[in-house]
Amino acid sequence: MTRELSRLLSTIASAAVITALGAGTMTLTAQPSNAAESLKIESAIKGGDPDVDPALEALGPPPIPADNPQTPEKIELGKKLFFDPRLGGNPSTPCSACHLPSVGWDVEDKVSFGYPGTVHWRNSQTIVNSAYYGKLFWAGSSKSLESQAKSAAGGAVAGNGEADMMEARLAFVPEYREAFNKVFGDQWPKIGNAWRAIAAFERTIVQTDTPFDNYLRGDKNALTASQKRGLELFRGKAGCIECHNGALLSDEKYYNTGVPPLDQWNDDGLKQVTFRYELYAKGSTEKMYRHTKDDPGFYFRSKEKADKGKFRTPSLRYTLYTEPYMHNGMLATLEDVVEFYNQGGGTNEFAKNKTKLIKPLGLKKKEKADLVNFLKSLSGPEILMDEPELPDYAPLPDAAN
């Protein structure tokens, strides 16, 4: 078979798949005739915001930064460091403490664990597919996984680690000294390279073969009839694609959808203290510190009143395993999330900043069930992992002189 004939047959096969999947009202855009390539599903929303919504498409390999290339040795080092409590203020807060593989690589509670003696104040987000974000944390305060790892390990109500102390601990582990030297050329482990190794490991925790991805790659049986109806709602009547679009299913923009404040702030003293501390630490006026009862979110970064109550759109991938939902875990199930948006979102202290994109949907019971089933198609098999065996401390070698 000539190369030209092979390309022609491949193009015909791809077109056939598009025709089959395109039955009904769905609009699909043909992509290059490579089996690994994805079909694209465009938005069917009319009259939303003026922004162009990127089409839905299968998730490809994660982007790898040029200044931190992947190597097997770096990934293996990063895996150990991810589970190692020596990267924190005391031996209790490794990355894995708030990103447990067995519960979706996050915490199965409304808000995350905090450093001993404290609590956290926001929901822990899964690290699955975090490699694709350009804005990490709920308010987008980190631009890379490397930066996020550093911030989380040093955050006062998170890891609470001090860089010099964490670096010194690594120096007392012969296996780490050898690994850092091999991977980075460090004579002694540098803490900055610890974050680079962890980021490299996190870029391997991805899922690109969900039923929806497989459907987009041509397997017309990958979605059930209910999920296909849910997909139509997602990109049309329900309006989800307005913010959850592109391959990641997130536009990474900031919105206030009216999520109510964390109810635990009403009667949990420690959580109240944490909330007041964060208001103070992230920058508030005296009036705001004294009277604010809700999380200002993106305001802490922009200091614009119009941004109070806004949070970055999270991806919908892997959400089958990451309940509860929203920045404060106030919605327990996917059914609750769909009902929340069906009612036009909620109300919070910053209601005047609530996005105009949210409005009552009038979904019927069967439509809500179809939409939930489609959301479940955005998750594949659960990603589980045993904790690695961590290397021991040992006395430093004798000085050469």
pLDDT tens-place values along the chain, 401 residues long: 333 333 333 333 333 333 233 333 343 333 333 445 889 999 998 777 888 899 999 999 999 999 999 999 999 999 999 999 999 999 899 999 999 999 999 999 999 988 998 999 999 999 999 999 999 999 999 999 999 999 999 999 999 999 999 999 999 999 999 999 999 999 999 999 999 999 999 999 999 999 999 999 999 999 999 999 999 999 999 999 999 999 999 999 999 999 999 999 999 999 999 999 999 999 999 999 999 999 999 999 999 999 999 999 999 999 999 999 999 999 999 999 999 999 999 999 999 999 999 999 999 999 999 999 999 999 999 999 999 999 999 999 887 66
Q: What is the pLDDT of residue 157?
A: 92
Q: Are 81 and 197 in contact (CB under 8 A)?
A: yes
* Number of helices (H), then strands (E), in the chain: 14, 5
Q: What is the pLDDT of residue 11?
A: 34
The whole-model pTM stands at: 0.90
Structure tokens at 209: 């073969």
Q: Are 14 and 33 in contact (CB under 8 A)?
A: yes
Long-range contacts of 289-295 (CB under 8 A, 24+ apart): 292/349, 293/261, 293/265, 293/349, 294/261, 294/348, 294/349, 294/350, 295/121, 295/122, 295/261, 295/262, 295/327, 295/328
Q: Which residues, including other chains, have CB under 8 Å from residue 373's CB and lie 6 or more apart? A: 224, 226, 227, 230
Q: Which residues, including other chains, have CB under 8 Å from residue 221's CB and lie 6 or more apart? A: none
CA pair distance 23, 42, nearest whole angstrom: 14
CA 356 vs CA 48, 74, 134, 261, 338: distances in Å: 9, 45, 25, 20, 17
Q: What is the pLDDT of residue 32?
A: 35
Position 270, amino acid: L
173 three-class SS: coil
Structure tokens at 197: 């190794």
Q: What is the pLDDT of residue 50?
A: 82
Position 48, amino acid: G
